[in-house]
Amino acid sequence: MALPYGAERIVHVYSLRNDGAVARPRTAPFELLVAPERSSPREEARQAYVANRRQLADAWINTGRRGDVEVPRERKLNQNLWRTLHDWAAENRPDISFADSGETVLVMPATKIDYKSPIAAAKKAAVLLFGVFLDSPFRSRLFKC
């Protein structure tokens, strides 16, 4: 049986006799599972946000790797990244506007939050941030240390 993260297994329990010696239990040893207290939904959502953001960034970085060398200008969306961004955009509908200089401006809406599922909302927020990142000049300045 796989243990939850941070859990400890205590298998054998012996008793201490009056004379200080350790006595074998008369019954078969029992198993006790000691697990850490579950974190709050807010903390779990924060961890999901950070993990999803990290996963998206790592996938993006890896598309520009050639062996041990990173070539940021050769990065392209792989199929999984494209699908993730496309699914998010289909649900949240980003908009295009124009600046006074004539440049196009991508307007990213706030993520639709389902408060019944904070972890799913946190993951969607990470995709939003990743989309904003890809629209910035910083997309070619991200490296893995």
In a domain, 47, yes or no: yes
Count the domains in the chain: 1
In a domain, 14, yes or no: no
Per-residue HEC secondary structure of the chain comes to CCCCCCCEEECCCCEECCCCCEECCCCCCCCEEECCCCCCHHHHHHHHHHHHHHHHHHHHHHCCEECCEECHHHCCCCHHHHHHHHHHHHHHCCEEEECCCCCEEEECCCCCCCCCCHHHHHHHHHHHHHHHHHCCHHHHCCCCC
In a domain, 19, yes or no: no
Map tokens 């006595």 to a residue: 23
Does the pLDDT at position 9 exceed 80? no
Does the pLDDT at position 141 exceed 90? no
pLDDT (0 to 100) of residue 35 = 54
Structure pTM? 0.64
In a domain, 124, yes or no: yes
Does the pLDDT at position 10 exceed 50? no
In a domain, 25, yes or no: no
Does the pLDDT at position 25 exceed 70? no
In a domain, 35, yes or no: no
pLDDT (0 to 100) of residue 66 = 86
Rounded average pLDDT over 100-112: 79
Rounded average pLDDT over 77-96: 89
C-alpha to C-alpha distances, 28 to 11, 25, 65, 95, nearest whole angstrom: 10, 7, 56, 67
Does the pLDDT at position 99 exceed 60? yes
Residue type, 18: N
Residue range(s) defining the domain that contains residue 59: 41-140
pLDDT band at 28; cut points 50, 70, 90: low
In a domain, 82, yes or no: yes
Weakest mean pLDDT among 27-36, 98-107, 132-141: 27-36
> Do the Cβ atoms of 70 and 60 come closer than 8 Å?
no
In a domain, 12, yes or no: no
